[in-house]
Amino acid sequence: MPETTATEGVRKLLAEHRQEHLLTFWPQLREDQQGSLLAQVQELDLPTIRDWVEHLVTGQPQPPIQHDFVPAPSYPPQPRDASEERKYVQAIELGTQRISQGKVAALTVAGGQGTRLGFDGPKGSFSISPIRKKTLFRIFAETIAAVSRRYGAVCPWYVMTSPLNHEQTLAIFKADDFYGLDPRNVLIFQQGTLPNFSLDGRILLAEKDQIARSPDGHGGCIRALARSGALADMKKRGVEYLTYWQVDNPLVRLFDPLFVGLHVLDGAQMSSKAVIKNGPKEKVGNFCLVDGKVTVIEYSDLPDELAGKRRPDGSLAFQLGSIAIHIINRTFVEHLNTKGHTLPLHRAVKKIPYIDPQGRRVEPKEPNGVKLESFIFDAIPLAERSIILEIVRGEQFAPVKNATGEDSAEATHRMMIERAAVWLESAGVKVPRKPDGSPDCILEIAPSFALDAEDIPAKRDQIPPIKPGDEVYLA
Ligand code: UTP
């Protein structure tokens, strides 16, 4: 395509925003490639991008405004007194009712790139269960099927992907026959993407005719739910609440009646589960109250003196860590979309492959660019009310983030086996343990067998005696 007045206009506009390099390879491109690149460039909101560059990419991000923040209140895993106990009983009844009425649906965010795990494929297709090697997606699907049976309700499942893994995810669900779920109740939708930048604020090219882009963060689900039609689908089905979790946590307790019930009883719009942090600087967000609103402060933004502050009983003052498990009202997501609330963007400096000015593809060894993302927890302070339910870590949180070490598949494995052991022991089953206390056997409990420890006693007679070194799969 020869240079036309239209492309000249675009070139000029790009130059005004210091992004003229995007057309560097224009003369070398085929006509269809030129058309595609032009369309990508025309989609860029250049004034907004300039603002991002100034404030998030080249400019030093503003330090967080120093509000007075105090630890957020929470509900404990077990009620502390008789009145709380009455509330928990009422909450469980209410939560059970809402789930049975089909008013609760599942939302998994699975659009991330999973770079730390280094697994080739959507993270949901990573196999994690100790014996059957079930994938994360399969474990969630089996859980949803078991919940659906237990409550006699349809439990729709919304799965957010990104353009980087959407087709692959769809193909996996299809190849696995939607893990036995009715495909009409599984909606796989895509989140948006944002351009990637060099450290000096230039948009990177992934190919000569392609702008480098990455998913816009798990916070992107707020917009994507609306744009994809998922919100409208929920409304049509009468779904009022979303049980939200991240694709990397196989221990998550979905459709938790207590959590749903407390959220509903307290009239909240977005609520969270939390763990007690395992140290002052554990790399999880901290639940605080900022100007009276529940807010997650990133571990890097919590001043050391506050992170280390202790109560008279020795516990951390800021002890509640965010684990990305929420209940979100459908009407709250609608409200955020119609009121045009945009979640703030955060910068992450990463290794981003790109095409250099000579047209060579570069696979950087060191971080060379900036990706921008929004985080779901930034929606919490926009809610009028928000509650926090503290949970026991080993029961509900074991994220697979890294290839080795902390939060690795191996660590998650161990936690899955340990949880199964604890459930069995709570029903009086003898589980052999090693001198260091860890189970001396490999255990796997299918969601169809038990969704929680309370399901075990009724199945007691189906559990064989467990000897040291045994592998026991219960389904
Ligand atoms: P992480 O922050 O762990 O990111 O996402 P990640 O992309 O999976 O892994 P790394 O950082 O590249 O190693 C937490 C959850 O949020 C989802 C992920 O799929 C995961 O379930 N997520 C993240 C999205 O759905 N979209 C995004 O843009 C980012």
Give the pLDDT confidence of 207-260 residue by residue, as tens digits.
Answer: 999 999 999 999 999 999 999 999 999 999 999 999 999 999 999 999 999 999
3-state secondary structure 258-323: HHHHHHHHCCCCEEEEEEECCCCCCCCCEEEEECCEEEEECHHHCCHHHHCCECCCCCECCCEEEE
pLDDT band at 79 (very low <50, low <70, confident <90, very high): very high
Structure letter (DSSP) for residue 330: H
Q: How far apart are CA 51 and CA 57, in angstroms?
A: 9
Kindly report which listed range (269-278, 318-327, 341-350) carries the lowest average pLDDT score. Answer: 341-350
107, 218, 322, best to mutate for ligand 1 pocket (most atoms within 8 Å of CB) = 218
**Encoded tokens for 328:** 């979100």
Whose C-alpha lies nearest to ligand 1, atom 22?
112
Answer for the pair 147, 94: CB distance below 8 angstroms, yes or no: no
Kindly report which listed range (99-108, 267-276, 339-348) carries the lowest average pLDDT score. Answer: 339-348
Closest CA to 386 of 376, 372, 395: 376
Quick one: pLDDT at residue 5?
65
Quick one: pLDDT at residue 159?
98
**Which residues have C-beta atoms less than 6 Å from ligand 1?**
109-116, 123, 160, 162, 191, 215-218, 220, 246-248, 373, 401
Q: How far apart are CA 392 and CA 76, in angstroms?
A: 9
Quick one: pLDDT at residue 276?
97
Whose C-alpha lies nearest to ligand 1, atom 18?
112
Q: What is the pLDDT of residues 130-182, one digit of tens each?
A: 999 999 999 999 999 999 999 999 999 999 999 999 999 999 999 999 999 99
Strands 197-198 and 369-374: antiparallel
Longest dimension (CA), the chain: 80
Angle between helices 257-265 and 82-100 (to 10 degrees): 100
Quick one: pLDDT at residue 61?
67
**Encoded tokens for 391:** 């949970």
Whose C-alpha lies nearest to ligand 1, atom 2?
112
* C-alpha 169 – ligand 1 centre gap (Å): 15
Q: What is the pLDDT of residues 459-469, one digit of tens each?
A: 999 999 999 99
List of long-range contacts for 16-19, beta carbons under 8 Å, 24+ apart: 16/46, 17/46, 17/47, 17/49, 17/50, 18/50, 18/53, 18/201, 18/202, 19/44, 19/46, 19/49, 19/202, 19/203
pTM of the model: 0.95
SS3 (DSSP) at 68: coil
* C-alpha 112 – ligand 1 centre gap (Å): 3
Structure letter (DSSP) for residue 26: G
107, 189, 246, 352, best to mutate for ligand 1 pocket (most atoms within 8 Å of CB) = 246
From the CA of 111, give the closest atom in ligand 1: 25
168, 214, 248, best to mutate for ligand 1 pocket (most atoms within 8 Å of CB) = 248
Answer for the pair 445, 132: CB distance below 8 angstroms, yes or no: no
* C-alpha 101 – ligand 1 centre gap (Å): 31
Angle between helices 31-43 and 5-16 (to 10 degrees): 40
Answer for the pair 459, 474: CB distance below 8 angstroms, yes or no: yes
For 327, residues 6+ apart whose C-beta sits below 8 A from its C-beta are: 241, 242, 243, 244, 259, 260, 263, 268, 270, 271
> Half-sphere exposure of 8 toward its Cβ, with a 13 Å CA cutoff?
4
pLDDT band at 69 (very low <50, low <70, confident <90, very high): confident
| pLDDT at residue 3 tops 80 | no
Q: What is the pLDDT of residues 364-405, one digit of tens each?
A: 999 999 999 999 999 999 999 999 999 999 999 999 999 999
* C-alpha 454 – ligand 1 centre gap (Å): 32
Closest CA to 23 of 287, 272, 205: 205
Whose C-alpha lies nearest to ligand 1, atom 25?
111
From the CA of 114, give the closest atom in ligand 1: 9
* C-alpha 423 – ligand 1 centre gap (Å): 30
Phi, psi of 400 (to 5 degrees): -95, 100
* C-alpha 222 – ligand 1 centre gap (Å): 15
SS3 breakdown of the chain: % helix, strand, coil, rounded to 5?
40, 20, 40
* C-alpha 277 – ligand 1 centre gap (Å): 21
Whose C-alpha lies nearest to ligand 1, atom 10?
114
| pLDDT at residue 263 tops 70 | yes
SS3 (DSSP) at 451: coil
* C-alpha 375 – ligand 1 centre gap (Å): 10
| pLDDT at residue 72 tops 70 | yes
